[in-house]
């Protein structure tokens, strides 16, 4: 019983220090969890997975040699592969683009909306083109 009272007195005397340590630990814990959650949402590996990959890459780099160095040079930060684009984006767009000239048809669809709240009355007329014609422009 005496030992229990001594421990209780020590805890009471050191409580401000203990509470500060616990609050710092808890805020750091929550910050790390939030960072891991943000990394997962962005498609990045968590800090733990990244450490494991770096550790594995360090061990295999020591054991293998030039082939591993070539492979790691293709990696970006975070251990993911990035392949260079094969063609220019502008050339790709030119190869799949279709030039079209649009002509509006004179058919309109009309909708009338009336709002009545007692004192004021609002009328909305909405018109919308129902269809359009187009002609494809082909180059020789």
Q: Which two tokens stand for residue 67?
A: 């082939």
Which pLDDT score is estimated for 85? 62
Q: Using one digit for the tens of pLDDT, what is the confidence trace for 85-97?
A: 667 777 877 777 7
When the pLDDT of each residue in the chain is averaged and rounded to a whole number, the result is: 76
Q: Which two tokens stand for residue 17?
A: 């220090």
Q: Using one digit for the tens of pLDDT, what is the confidence trace for 1-38?
A: 889 999 999 989 999 899 999 999 999 999 999 999 99
Which residues have C-beta within 8 Å of that of residue 114, sequence separation ≥ 6?
Answer: 121, 122, 123, 124
Task: Give the rounded distance of the alpha carbon of 98 from its chain centre.
Answer: 32
With CA atoms as reference, report the closest residue to 56 among 39, 68, 73, 38.
Answer: 68
Q: Using one digit for the tens of pLDDT, what is the confidence trace for 98-123?
A: 777 766 666 666 777 788 887 888 88
């Amino acid at each position: 019983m005496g030992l229990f009272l001594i421990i209780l007195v020590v805890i009471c005397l050191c409580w401000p220090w203990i509470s500060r340590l616990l609050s710092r630990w808890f805020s750091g814990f929550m910050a790390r969890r939030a960072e891991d959650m943000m990394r997962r949402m962005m498609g990045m590996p968590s800090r733990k997975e990244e450490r494991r990959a770096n550790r594995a890459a360090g061990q295999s780099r020591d054991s293998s040699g030039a082939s591993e160095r070539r492979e790691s040079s293709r990696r970006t930060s975070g251990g993911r592969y990035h392949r260079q684009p094969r063609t220019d984006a502008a050339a790709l767009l030119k190869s799949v683009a279709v030039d079209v000239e649009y002509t509006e048809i004179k058919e309109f669809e009309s909708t009338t909306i009336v709002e009545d709240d007692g004192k004021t009355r609002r009328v909305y007329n909405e018109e919308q083109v129902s269809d359009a014609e187009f002609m494809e422009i082909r180059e020789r």
